[in-house]
Amino acid sequence: MKKDDCIFCKIANGEIPSNTIYEDDLFRVILDNGPATKGHALVLPKDHSADIFEMPEDTLAKAMVVAKKVAGKLKETLSCDGLNIVQNNGECAGQTVHHFHIHLIPRYADDGQLIGWKPGSPSSEELEKVRKTINGES
């Protein structure tokens, strides 16, 4: 299903032109118009889901297969040295377009980009408490 006011629904379904580098019946992969690096691409499902929590499992699995296929194409054609896969869910996690998408970000040895986080240093007790919460043990 498409969502009327969603820009990625319109792009994925060809209603708005884009720099498409892959397309099949379920997905379109486009170049990001604010790229982190050369070749930064977005895997867009043609059906609307806001985020990973709404994505049907079978489409999600197929999205990762498309991500691998296009990642290989980017590596081969752009000779990148590495590649980050990023997928944001929710505003506090950096999501700005609320139509599920996977970022493919080719990395070059000297690209100067920062994609990461500040590592924490929890005690073993704190980690155990988190595990128990997640596993429903407390």
Whether the Cβ atoms of residue 107 and residue 40 lie closer than 8 Å to each other = no
Which of 14, 72, 82, 94 is in the footprint of ligand 5GP by CB under 6 A?
94
Nearer to Zn ion, 6 or 86 (CB): 6
| The two structure tokens encoding residue 3 | 């969502």
Which of 1, 4, 33, 112 is in the footprint of ligand 5GP by CB under 6 A?
33
Q: Binds 95, which of ligand 5GP, Zn ion, none (CB < 5 to 8 A, cut-off by type)?
A: ligand 5GP
**Which DSSP symbol is given to 93?**
G
Amino acid letter, 89: N
Whether the Cβ atoms of residue 93 and residue 69 lie closer than 8 Å to each other = no
Examine residue 41 and tell whether it contacts ligand 5GP (CB under 6 A): no
**Segment interacting with ligand 5GP, rule: CB under 6 A, options 70-78, 90-98, 120-128, 129-137:** 90-98
CA gap 72, 78 in Å, rounded: 10
Mark whether 98 is an active-site residue.
Answer: no
Examine residue 30 and tell whether it contacts ligand 5GP (CB under 6 A): yes
CA gap 103, 30 in Å, rounded: 10
Q: How far is the CB of 64 from Zn ion (least distance, A)?
A: 19
Residues labelled as active-site residues: 101
